[in-house]
Amino acid sequence: MNLKKFLMAGGLSMVLILGACGSGEEEASEEPATEEDSSASSGDVDAESIARDNCASCHGQDFSGGMGPALAGMSLSEDEFSEIVRNGQGQMPAFSEDQIKDEELSALYTFFSEQ
């Protein structure tokens, strides 16, 4: 029984680590983006893409919850949200500014609040 719990915890940890360690790299396009091509949700930041790349694996594809709590329509303040993302909480890993920039974090908060 203890082995089963150990394996489950190890598997969960691996999923969280792999989800948190996404490459964060985007392929460069040879053509400049036009306004028509832009899908940015806050200024030049595409919060939805950032959320899909970094949050959906734990918080659900529609951000209504999964292994992690729902983010869509969350009732946290922006400061509370930022604190949790930067420092982690429970099973959620911390995301440094190298992983998610402050302007991206702010755009994510706005994106989730408007869901």
8 among annotated binding-site residues: no
55 among annotated binding-site residues: yes
59 among annotated binding-site residues: yes
CA angle 49, 55, 103 (to 5 degrees): 60
Q: Which of 63, 66, 65, 44 lies closest to 113 in space, CA to CA? A: 63
Tell me the two tokens of residue 99.
């992983």
74 among annotated binding-site residues: no
- Binding-site residues sit at 55, 58-59, 92
Question: Annotated binding site for heme c: which residue ranges?
Answer: 55, 58-59, 92
